[in-house]
A and B are shown apart, each in its own frame.
Chain A
C-alpha cells in the first residue's frame, strides 16, 4: 500500500535560488523596518502605563456617542471596538500616578450615556511597571538566545550554523512585529509570549535541517556544501511541510474560534510560524552557504560534528532484547 503523500521526493535547488529569497526577505524586512521607524508599535498600556476600561452595553451604542460622552468629561481616549458586540475598550495611555482616578472618571462618563452597561475589565498600570516588565522580558530573551547560539554552535561544532539559526529567528520575529506595526495592532504582554513561541519553533525547525546535514555529511563526505545543504533541505522538506501544516492549522483554529483574548496572540503565532517555515527552508541554507563561502569554507572543512548523540546507543540496547 502506498503512503498518503503530500510531497513526493523533491530536488529543489534552494542554494541556487538563494539570491531570489534574499531579495524577497530583504524587501519584506525593509518594509517592516520602515513601518517600525515611521509608524512605530501600537504599544498597549502594559508598556506605556495608563488605564483601560472594557465596557459592554446592553443596547446599541455607537462609537461617536461614546467619544462625545468621554470628551465632555475631558477624557481623551483610544477606543477599540469589538466586532459583533456592543463592547468597547477605552484606553487612556500615559503616566498616571493615581490608581482609580481615570477609571472612575470613565465610569461617570459612561453613566451619562443612559444605556445600561457592565464593566467587563479594568486595568491600571503605573508608569514604572511597564518599563520594568519590558526590560526584564528583553533581558531574559537575550540570555535565552545567547544560550541557543552556544548550544547549536557546540552541537554542530560551527559558530556560523548557530548564528544563522538565530538570524532566521530574528527574521521571523522582526516580520511579526513588522506586521503588527503596519496594521497598528496592539502589542501587549501576551504578544511577548507569542514571540517566544515563534522563536522556539523557528530554532526547532532549523535544527532539524542541520541535523540532517550532519548525518548526510557523515554518509557522503564527498558532498560539497551546496549539495549537502540542498539534499538535506529536500530530505526534510516533507517533514517540514507536514509539521508546519499541522501546527499552523491548529493556530488558525485558535485564531478564528479562540475568542477575543486569544485573537492577537494567535495572529502573532500565525504570522511568526508561517515565516518560521519559510525562513527555515528558503533562507537558512542559503545564508549558511553565503557566509561560509565568504570565509573560504566548504563542506569537508566544516568540521561539522559527526559524533552521535549520547542516548542513541542506549536506544539500541533497548531494542536488542
Chain B
C-alpha cells in the first residue's frame, strides 16, 4: 500500500509540475497577436514556453552562407563563424524585433528565424551588407589617371562585388586600384587601406548637405591616431570613403581630423539608417549570401494551425472513443493515460523551449501510436489471461508482465533510432526525432506505469471483475 501511495504521489507531482510548466505557454498563446508582438519586441517573452515553428505560425526564415574563400585566414573557421553570427545578431537586434533564434548550421551556414515577419526584405538587406568601410587616398599621378581612363573603355571592368576583374588588374600600375564612384566615374586609389571600419566606435544618422541624410562616425582611440596621422600628412589631397568597394564620396582634406568624420552620399533615409546600423555592429568577416529563404504569410500559418489542431483533436477523440468502446473500462483507463501522455509531453517540450514543427507533429503521432499500441498489447494479454479463468489480480499482473517485453523492445529500438536521427539529422529530421525521443519516454511511463497504478488502486477495493 505504501508503494501504491508513492506511485500516486509521483504521478500527482508530475501532473502538477506539468500544469505549472504549461501555464506560461497557455497564458502566452491566449494573448492577442498584437500583445505578443509588443512583448516580443521588448524582449519579455517568457523563456520556457512551447514555440511554434514557422511552418505553423507564419514568418520568415533565412539561411546564410559565409563565403569562406574570402576569409582573411587570421582566425579559424569556427571563430569566423562565431563572429559572423554575433554580427548578424547585433544587426538584427538593432532592428528591434525581439529575440531571434540565430544558429549555426553545418559548416558555414547560419540559420536566422524571423517569426512573425512576413516581409523580410529589410532584414535581408541588413544582414546581407558586408559593410566593409575603408579610407583610401585618391591617386593623382599621371600613370594612375591614365590607367583609370583605360579602364573606362573596358566593357566590364568590375566583378559583381565591385573589385576589378583580372583583365583590368593587369592595366594597373603598382599599388593602384580603381573603383566605381557613387558620384559618377571611376577613381584611382591607393591599394593599401589606411584606416578601416574596424577602427570605428559609433555611427549615427545625421543631417548632411542638400537635405540628404549622412552618417557620422566616431573612431576609437586607435583609429583616431591612425586617422589623425593620415589626414595630417595629406592635407590638400582627396580622401576616398569606400563602402563595399564603392567610393561613397571623396572630399578634400582641409585640415587634420582625428576622432570624427561623416559619410555623405545621396542616401535615402532608410539607406542611411541601415548603414549606421551595420557600421555600429561591425563588418562581417566575409560576405554572406542568402541560400535559402522561406516566407509563410500569417494567414496561411493560422489556417494550418487551425485545421491541424481540429484534425488532431478529432483524431484523438476517435482513438479515445474507439478504445473505450472496444475495451470498456480497460480502454477508458488507457485513454486517461493517453491524455496524460499528451499533457506531460507538451509540458516537457515547453520546459525545453522546443519548437513544434510539422515534422515534430509526426514524431508525436508516432509516439502516441506506440503508446496506444502498448495499451492494446497489455489489454489483449489481460483478455487472454481472463479467458484462462485467472483471478482479477492475476489477470492484471500477468497482463503487464507478459506484455512488457514487447513494449520494452519496440520502444527501445525506436528510441535508439530516434536518438541517432536527432544526433545526425538536420532540419525536419531533427524536429521529428526530438518529439519522438521525448514522446517514447513519456509514452512508456503513462501507458505502463500510470495505467498499472490505476488498476492497483481499483484493486484495493477488491472488485470481482473489470470490464475489458
Given B380, B424, B432, B456, which contacts A139 in the complex, CB threshold below 8 Å?
A: B424
Residue of B nearest to A239 (CB): B380
**Quick check: A152 and B365 within 8 Å, CB to CB?**
no
In the complex, identify which listed stretch (B22-30, B90-98, B219-227, B398-406) lies at the interface while the others stay far away: B398-406
Given A151, A212, A319, which contacts B412 in the complex, CB threshold below 8 Å?
A: A151
Q: Mark B162-175, 1 if CB is under 8 A from A, else 0.
A: 00000000000000
In the complex, identify which listed stretch (B67-75, B147-155, B257-265, B414-422) lies at the interface while the others stay far away: B414-422
Which residues 273-303 of B sit at the A interface, judged by CB distance below 8 A? 289-297, 299-300, 303
Given A99-B124, A200-B414, A259-B303; A309-B308 close (CB under 8 Å): no
Given A140-B424, A253-B315; A128-B65 close (CB under 8 Å): yes
Residue of A nearest to B426 (CB): A136
Q: Which A residues lie within 8 Å of B241 (CB)?
A: none
**Quick check: A193 and B376 within 8 Å, CB to CB?**
no
Which residues 316-337 of B sit at the A interface, judged by CB distance below 8 A? 316, 318-319, 322-323, 325-328
In the complex, identify which listed stretch (B12-20, B80-88, B131-139, B366-374) lies at the interface while the others stay far away: B366-374
**Quick check: B417 and A145 within 8 Å, CB to CB?**
yes
Q: Does B145 contact A (CB under 8 A)?
A: no
> A47 CB to closest chain B CB, in angstroms?
12
Complex-state Cα separation, A1 to B386, whole angstroms: 11
> A264 CB to closest chain B CB, in angstroms?
11
Interface bin, chain A: 35 or more
Q: Does B358 contact A (CB under 8 A)?
A: yes
Given A128, A193, A201, which contacts B359 in the complex, CB threshold below 8 Å?
A: A193
Q: Does B454 contact A (CB under 8 A)?
A: no
**Quick check: A189 and B428 within 8 Å, CB to CB?**
yes
Q: Which B residues lie within 8 Å of A245 (CB)?
A: 322
**Quick check: B376 and A242 within 8 Å, CB to CB?**
yes
Q: Does B307 contact A (CB under 8 A)?
A: yes
**Quick check: A137 and B426 within 8 Å, CB to CB?**
yes
Q: Does A159 contact B (CB under 8 A)?
A: no
Given A99-B290, A121-B297, A253-B314; A201-B366 close (CB under 8 Å): yes
**Quick check: B358 and A143 within 8 Å, CB to CB?**
no
> B406 CB to closest chain A CB, in angstroms?
4
Residue of B nearest to A155 (CB): B409
Q: Does A204 contact B (CB under 8 A)?
A: yes
**Quick check: B397 and A254 within 8 Å, CB to CB?**
no
**Quick check: A193 and B372 within 8 Å, CB to CB?**
no
Given A190-B358, A261-B55; A312-B431 close (CB under 8 Å): no
**Quick check: A193 and B292 within 8 Å, CB to CB?**
no
Complex-state Cα separation, A145 to B418, whole angstroms: 10
**Quick check: A261 and B325 within 8 Å, CB to CB?**
no
**Quick check: B405 and A261 within 8 Å, CB to CB?**
no
Which residues 211-262 of A sit at the B interface, judged by CB distance below 8 A? 211-212, 214-215, 236, 238-239, 242-243, 245-247, 249-251, 253-254, 256-262
**Quick check: A262 and B307 within 8 Å, CB to CB?**
yes
Given B373, B409, B425, B467, which contacts A136 in the complex, CB threshold below 8 Å?
A: B425
Q: Does B1 contact A (CB under 8 A)?
A: yes
Q: Mark B417-449, 1 if CB is under 8 A from A, else 0.
A: 110110111111101110010000000000000
**Quick check: A250 and B290 within 8 Å, CB to CB?**
no
Interface bin, chain B: 35 or more
Which residues 289-321 of A sit at the B interface, judged by CB distance below 8 A? 308-309, 311-312, 315-316, 318-319, 321
Given A128-B65, A141-B421, A144-B417; A207-B409 close (CB under 8 Å): yes
Q: Does B198 contact A (CB under 8 A)?
A: no
Complex-state Cα separation, A151 to B420, whole angstroms: 13
Interface class of chain A by DSSP: helix
Complex-state Cα separation, A4 to B424, whole angstroms: 45
**Quick check: A308 and B405 within 8 Å, CB to CB?**
yes
Complex-state Cα separation, A151 to B414, whole angstroms: 10
**Quick check: A258 and B124 within 8 Å, CB to CB?**
no
**Quick check: B315 and A254 within 8 Å, CB to CB?**
yes
Q: Which B residues lie within 8 Å of A247 (CB)?
A: 369, 372-373
Listed residue (B106, B306, B416, B429) with the most chain A CB atoms within 10 angstroms of its CB: B429
**Quick check: B304 and A193 within 8 Å, CB to CB?**
no
Given B300, B314, B359, B405, which contacts A309 in the complex, CB threshold below 8 Å?
A: B405
**Quick check: B373 and A120 within 8 Å, CB to CB?**
no
Given A1, A129, A136, A265, which contacts B429 in the complex, CB threshold below 8 Å?
A: A136
Q: Does B310 contact A (CB under 8 A)?
A: yes
**Quick check: B404 and A129 within 8 Å, CB to CB?**
no
Listed residue (A199, A249, A254, A269) with the most chain B CB atoms within 10 angstroms of its CB: A254
**Quick check: A260 and B304 within 8 Å, CB to CB?**
yes
Listed residue (A137, A140, A236, A321) with the most chain B CB atoms within 10 angstroms of its CB: A140
Complex-state Cα separation, A315 to B402, whole angstroms: 11
Ranked nearest first, the 8 interchain pairs of A and B with the lowest CB-CB distance are A259-B307, A126-B291, A193-B359, A211-B406, A250-B315, A144-B417, A258-B311, A140-B425
Spell out A's residues near B (CB within 8 Å): 1, 3-4, 6, 54, 56, 99-100, 118-126, 128-129, 132-133, 136-137, 139-141, 143-145, 147-148, 151-152, 155, 189-190, 192-194, 196-197, 199-201, 203-204, 207-208, 210-212, 214-215, 236, 238-239, 242-243, 245-247, 249-251, 253-254, 256-262, 265, 269, 308-309, 311-312, 315-316, 318-319, 321
Can you list 17 A-B pairs, Cβ within 8 angstroms, ordered by A? A120-B297, A121-B295, A121-B296, A122-B293, A125-B292, A126-B289, A139-B424, A144-B420, A152-B409, A190-B428, A258-B312, A259-B306, A259-B308, A259-B311, A262-B358, A312-B405, A318-B3
* Given A121-B296, A208-B410, A257-B311, 7 more pairs with CB closer than 8 A: A196-B433, A201-B366, A215-B405, A246-B322, A251-B365, A259-B304, A309-B405
